[in-house]
Amino acid sequence: MDIRLLDYQSTTAAGQNIHQLRVAIDSQASGLRLNDLDRSDIDTWIGRVSGIEDIDLGPWQSRNNALAALGYQQGSIQENIDKLVSLYGAARLGVVMGSSTSSIDRTESAYLELEDGQLSSEYQQPQVHNPNAPSLFMTHLSGIRGPSMTINTACSSSAKVFATGARWLESGVVDAVLVGGVDTLCLSVLHGFDSLQLVAKNQCMPLDQNRDGINLGEASGFAILVKPDEKHQDSGITLLGYGESSDAYHMSHPHPEGLGARLSMQQALTMANLNASQIDYINLHGTSSRANDLIEGKLIESMFSSNTQVSSTKAWMGHTLGAAGITEALIAVDALQRGVIPGSLNLNELDHELSLSVQSANMSRNMNFVMSNSFGFGGNNCTLAFGKSGEKT
């Protein structure tokens, strides 16, 4: 498979765009803040993106859509989509979005302000109170008129957008695909995870012996996927392979032996025609929960050599749920581009049951191949493998 990334951008609490994210990573400056979400009194840290509240979208108004709009305006994503629409026609471009909550934040507000048991006119937004809202909004914003869909497989949602986008390109349905992910903080999410006793009082510490749970965050991310073509210059990064699996083991707990996670990693390696020893860096799902980090860490130890460096980057922006897949895939891609592996922030003492090649400090390293893991509730797993374009596998 040879699917190129034409462009990519990320918007998180750690940085509004890729440039700001690089600065945060290089300075190891976390974007987490003490919980200040309206109507929430949970003692925790969150990865909240500033300025979303000031974005007015009229009939499309929701926090989720506002963050998607903010992310789409970063860098040259919008400019490149406009060029591709001119080149191929709007019907030959597709949109695949990933989200776990869509615009549930807006629905929460609507129910808080019911008038005689009915939605007020301000909240009568059928295209917003909709599981497919992210895709509907992005087709509206971008002018893309080809196939569109929203994937909701919990925390693997926006990793799977790469797999779907690649299949569309390889089948000839489209000539380019805008893939993205967006999820925003809301009461349903924050208090839901707190009810599962997964939310940490401290800043999260992925892989650390003393980790006590996760921090939640919000993010949007976008990438443009194309086939190699002399008509446009890509970023020099290729999506080489992907793996998708479903444990169907438990609603919220990962399979104790990581069965589906192992399958997704092996599938990605096989499709990419790579041996595990060739992978230079893996961005782990690494949520900072006791179960996730231990199970994923044990799998990495059994499948990869000590030459493969790993880290979790969730302490920079929190666990961004449906946007985590694309956020962390793009961090891995950017690490490949820059030759800088992010450390595992807040790691002081590695879990005593693990012996991974991980450190808290960043590492400079020339790399050829990287991977990113995303494992969601219900056992929905996705692994992505990327390489430098032209690099032999």
Q: Which two tokens stand for residue 149?
A: 């869909």
Rounded Cα–Cα distance for residues 141 and 167 (Å): 24
- Given 155, 186, 204, 382, the catalytic residue: 155
Q: Which two tokens stand for residue 309?
A: 């460096």
- Given 186, 204, 255, 319, the catalytic residue: 319
- Counting beta carbons within 10 angstroms of the beta carbon of residue 115, is it exposed (0 to 12), middle (13 to 18) or buried (19 or more)? exposed
- Given 204, 285, 352, 382, the catalytic residue: 285
Rounded Cα–Cα distance for residues 136 and 127 (Å): 7
Rounded Cα–Cα distance for residues 33 and 277 (Å): 38
Strand order in the sheet with 45-47: 33-34, 45-47, 216-217
Question: How many C-alpha atoms does 69 have within 13 Å on its Cβ side?
Answer: 20
Would residue 319 show up in a list of annotated catalytic residues for this protein? yes
- DSSP code at position 25: H
Q: Which two tokens stand for residue 97?
A: 């979005």
- DSSP code at position 251: S
Q: Would you please indicate which residues are annotated as catalytic (active-site) residues?
A: 155, 285, 319
